[in-house]
Structure 1
Amino acid sequence: MRSSSKLFPVALASAELRGDLTEDVYLLKPNNSPDPSVELALTRLGRADAVNARGVPLVLLHGSFANRRFWHTPNGHGLGAWLARAGFDVWLAEMRGHGLSPRNLGYRHNRVADYARYDLPAIAAFIAEQCGKPAHWLGHSLGGLTLAAALGGGHLAAAQVASLTLCGCQISRLHWSLKLPPLNWGARLLLRRREQVAAGWLGQGPEDEPAGVVREGLRWFGLFGRFGEGKEDWAAGLADVTVPVLALAGAGEQAAASAACRQLLERFASPAREFLCLGRAQGFAEDYGHAALLTSRGAQREVWPLLLHWLSHQHLPAVPGEASATFA
């Protein structure tokens, strides 16, 4: 079968018409990591009435225990579908072993370090080849941290990023008990024997998560941990990143407190960086939770238009109260 790319083997796995949207699923085999079995599914959403017109590319990265359905439901709803209808060239990336991406041979050892070092650069290169312009990148939870790791580690070039949006992302807050060295080390040792952490763990879902990713997260948030891998200090590396950045946090979040989300944003050197807390105190209809800030009906009314404005202009519109804070 002829490859859809000149960079590395890419197969067009399916091309479907979903109502008013086209849905093309590509399977990338970059062959750029120590595990040669890695294949990555990348779904493109576009308007059916503009097949030959490419919009501005936008890449959406799901969080832990998730897949592309976080952004695009089978019946055509979700933020990804909505932004495609708004004219963006939307790309839904699925990490190794998630969604349509097959489980690689080293699945149990998968880490964010691998996503950042190998997978995101390959995805960025393919989208640049297809679209001819830098993409906007939006990540939820672990997806956003993967983007921060790729940028902080110098694996994703700033020239490939038109803007960055981090939703519910932080690197400084975890339940106090898991910061205790005996408990943290014990949990990591237990996970070394496991292939995966089952979907639904701690109320997460619907996908299983490789044990390696969970062990990596425990190391980051441990008492002596840091956001990095080996000699790479991703948090420190963000001081060299100057792309426009928006950070969203839900006032009702437990997994990522808004203060911690803001602390991550402050590590960037971007001249254009904004923080938005989504809660009643800031003039919103509810205190949004970790997933609800992007997936709920309220988010569709209140949050999605703000994201559209940010992606179009790299600044937020005026919002009620103190919801938006711009950094000089």
Structure 2
Amino acid sequence: MKHQQSSMYVDLQQYQLHLRRLIPLQNALSPVLFLHGAIENGRIFYSHSGKGLACYLADQGFIGYCADFAGRGLSQPQLSTGFNQSQHQVITRDIPALIEFVYQQHQQPLTVIAHSWGGVLLAASLARFPGLISKVRAKVYFGTKRVISIQSIERKIKIDWLWNRLAPWLGRKYGYIPAKQWRFGADNEPTEFLSDTINWIKGAPYADITDGFDYAAASKQTDWPPSWHFAAVKDTVLGHPADVQNFIQETGQQHGKYTLLGRAQGYLQDYDHISMLTHPSANEDHFVQLNHWLVNLAE
């Protein structure tokens, strides 16, 4: 590895958000904040042995901050203590606090890279608080969709049955979603947060479940920073290319870059929702392209 890792925390009084910081050993460039999706944590972007997108970019000189949303990863307290959180809180409090924290560390705009549902929350937060835009140099989405429109057997199993039925039942039983214990996710999920996501996944308007703020309308008025949306050929449900493109249209981000990751498109693998960030080939593939793009933006 050409970087060092350490942990730090953003104190929001009732809870603390964990950040895994990756510092290049030399030639440090601009900062990058990483936001994970549902039933996962910041480890989707890094490993202690140096694997993952955050590690790759840190080795190229970018200073990485991999966040764990409240109750996930190493953030405190854990969900098992009875801690709960809504989607509204992530959008209106946590993401602005994380962006502000990283910005204050370096006094320069940062890039935000999000996976899956993390990108939905990022777009909502930036649309709601346009003052944050000046602190964001660019944003990158991997497999980000809001509504799952695809109909298939896989969708019926993973979404209609597991996410919409089993997961809420587990939430009522345990007080949180034990996705890791039940082996359908890399981390657990707050019950209230999951309930909020179900409405949007089913196609409810892109408006805040708590206070009704219209994210769709605000998005269309937002002067977005440079954006790049990645979709994967084998992402057949959780970030289907058609749903990724629908999200781009819904949020008025048509001027951003869009890339489909598959062999037919010239890439080394037919990637899926997870492997687009974890496959070893990514280091020689789209990670290289992303690094070049970020370097050009930083110049």
1:157 Cα offset (Å):
1.3
Which residue matches 1:274?
Answer: 257
**1:216-231 alignment, distance < 5 Å:** 216-222=196-202, 224-229=204-209, 230-231=211-212
2:218 corresponds to 1:237: yes
Q: Distance in 2 between matches of 1:204 and 1:299?
A: 24
Q: 1:199 aligns with which of 179, 185, 190?
A: 179
1:272 Cα offset (Å):
4.5
2:71 corresponds to 1:97: yes
Q: Distance in 1 between matches of 2:77 and 2:184?
A: 20
Q: Distance in 2 between matches of 1:156 and 1:208?
A: 32
CA RMSD of aligned residues (A): 2.9
Q: Distance in 2 between matches of 1:233 and 1:187?
A: 27
Select the structure of larger CA radius of gyration: 1
Q: Distance in 2 between matches of 1:202 and 1:263?
A: 31
Which residue matches 1:209?
Answer: 189
SS at match of 1:209: coil
Q: Distance in 2 between matches of 1:295 and 1:217?
A: 24
SS at match of 1:232: coil
Which residue matches 1:7?
Answer: none
SS at match of 1:128: helix
Kindly tell me: are residues 314 and 297 of structure 1, through their superposed partners in 2, closer, same or farther at Cα, counting changes over 3 Å?
A: same
TM-score, scaled relative to structure 1:
0.78
More helix by share: 2
Per-residue CA distance 1:272-300 (angstroms, 9 max, x = gap) = 41111111221223321001111101222
Instruction: Figure out how many residues of one structure are paired with residues of the other and give that number.
Output: 287
Q: 1:141 aligns with which of 105, 116, 126?
A: 116
Which residue matches 1:163?
Answer: 138
Provide the identity percentage. 24
2:272 corresponds to 1:264: no
TM superposition outliers: structure 1 runs of 4+ over 6 Å = none
Q: Structure 2: which 5+ runs fail to align?
A: none
Q: 2:53 aligns with which of 75, 79, 85?
A: 79
TM-score, scaled relative to structure 2:
0.85
Q: 1:28 aligns with which of 3, 6, 10?
A: 10
Between the two structures, name the one with larger relative contact order (CA 8 Å, sep ≥ 6).
2
Q: Structure 1: which 5+ runs fail to align?
A: 1-18, 32-36, 316-328
Kindly tell me: are residues 151 and 271 of structure 1, through their superposed partners in 2, closer, same or farther at Cα, counting changes over 3 Å?
A: same
